[in-house]
Amino acid sequence: MHRSSVFGMIPLLLLLAAGSASAHAFLDHAEPRVGNKVATAPREVTLWFTQKLEPAFSGMTVTDPSGQRVDTGKTRVSGNQMSVSLRAGGNGTYHVTWHVLSVDTHTTDGNFTFQVGQ
Amino acid sequence: MDWFGSGISVALVAVRAIHFAASALTTGTLIFRAVVVKPALRSEPTTAKLLRTQTLGIEWTGLAITVASGVIWLLLEAASMSGLPIGEAMTSSVVSTVSSQTQFGQVSEIRLVLAIILAACLAYHRLPLADWLALPAALGLTAAIAWTGHAGSTPGETGALHLCADALHLIGAAAWIGGLVPLIFLLAAVRRYHAIAWAALARDAAMRFSALGVASVTTLLATGIVNAWILVGSFRALAVTEYGRLLMLKLVVFAVMLVLAAVNRFWLTPRLVVASGDERRLEALRQLTRNSVIEVALGFSIFAIVGLLGTLHPAIHMVEG
């Protein structure tokens, strides 16, 4: 292989990076489950990710059907798991918004809803 | 597309590639000194002294680039993790939070301590203790990179296996690609001095280096398979994801390097024997040097690929089932 073609590859690779690199730890599953219906308002929301998380840069907020925050604001992170306790809320659609930094230094964010009530 | 965000990611890929290459250069040169130069020159103190100055120069250069690129990497990560512009991320408390509270930051701090120990060892290399301590410090400096990447975030028992494999993979890559640089310098010195004794030295060094190369390649293959099993998981993922395709490109470059290494070992090194005559010996030496330079260039392009791979989603998370 000609040497200049080897060096020529490097800018190409850097260009590739611009289009793609963004996020890493994906939401594996959650409790209450994403989009599911539960009978009574849960005491806490727990999220499991595909990779281990950094507590300093990870967190989530939960709002009740009226748009009021019902999470206590203290997110607990342990390994690839993140949870937050909830205050009591009414029936309807709850919104969970999360952002995490995985241990391999990549940030991801996302949101989902779950339903409370019959 | 978020152009500012991608600016940071391009810079991150570049700084990671430079950092990996410089760490490999530093550690590989120390490995080269321990397994190639020292045994080959046990009975020749004058030549040993001359080559010591040369390898020390490479070690200092590698270490300086490692530390400088490591600091820039930390600052870029602080900006990326916090989502702040790089100027703000540097002045605020973000850098200290990243350094003290994230795994990346803590590993960076440990690596900085190892870099300082290594610098002290190089500065006082005439003391036997310092001379002995330099290699383990350098091995730690390179192996610890494993904790900053994908391997560091794999949960559970698989995580421990992934870390071991990745740390060994890094050492293997450093020994081969990093070790080629002092070999090239040694071969250049041989061409300059153009004496019979030096030709014997070149052959001895090349033989010892290929033994080291075989050990490195075996380690790289075994640990590479473990890493790929964890991060890619299937041949389909290798074929359909960006991560998988880039990994295949890396394997192609690796294969070309292997061919060059085989030519060096089985074709050129045997022709360095004194009996083969001045002209043929010099020609073999010239080709050996040229092939090694191409191998280093290919090795550095692998570091560029690795710089990029670390910023991508591992293939295993991108395909269903």
Angle between helices B3-32 and B196-231 (to 10 degrees): 140
Least CA distance to A48: which residue of chain B? B155
Q: Whole-angstrom Cα distance, residue B148 to residue B151?
A: 8
Concatenated DSSP letters of B58-81: HHHHHHHHHHHHHHHHHHHHHHHH
pLDDT at B1: 32
Could A52 and B159 be called an inter-chain contact, meaning their C-beta atoms sit closer than 8 Å? yes
Least CA distance to A102: which residue of chain B? B153
Q: Is B276 on the interface with A (CB under 8 A)?
A: no
| Nearest beta carbon to residue A20 from set B81, B301, B312 | B312
Average pLDDT, chain B: 89
The boundaries of the domain holding residue B60 are 3-317
Which of A4-8, A31-35, B155-159, B274-278 has the highest average model confidence (pLDDT)? A31-35
Residues 79-98 of A with CB under 8 A from B: 79-80
pLDDT at A24: 65
CB proximity list for B266: less than 8 A, separation 6 or greater: none
The ipTM is: 0.72
Q: What pLDDT digit, counting tens, does each position of B41-55 carry?
A: 887 888 888 888 999
Which of A22-31, A95-104, B97-106, B135-144 has the highest average model confidence (pLDDT)? B135-144
Q: What angle do CA B26, B244, A8 make, to 5 degrees?
A: 55
pLDDT > 60? residue A21? no
Q: Is B242 on the interface with A (CB under 8 A)?
A: yes
pLDDT > 70? residue B111? yes
Residue B252 CB coordination number (10 Å): 10
Question: Where is B284: in which H helix or E strand?
Answer: helix B278-309
Reduced to 3 states (helix: H, G, I; strand: E, B; else coil), residue B303 is helix
Q: Is B73 on the interface with A (CB under 8 A)?
A: no
Q: Is A4 on the interface with B (CB under 8 A)?
A: no
Least CA distance to A106: which residue of chain B? B81
Q: What pLDDT digit, counting tens, does each position of B280-305 carry?
A: 888 888 999 999 999 999 999 999 99
pLDDT at A20: 36
Q: Are strands A59-63 and A44-49 parallel, antiparallel or unpaired?
A: unpaired
Number of structural domains chain B divides into: 1
Q: Which of A39, A32, A38, A36 is nearest to A62 (CA)?
A: A32
Chain A residues lying within 8 Å of B77, measured CB to CB: 105
| B113-122, B144-153, B162-171, range with the lowest pLDDT | B144-153
- Which domains are delineated in chain A? 22-116 (2.60.40.1220)
Following CA atoms B68, B73, B74, B78 in sequence, which dihedral angle do they give, to the nearest 10 degrees?
140
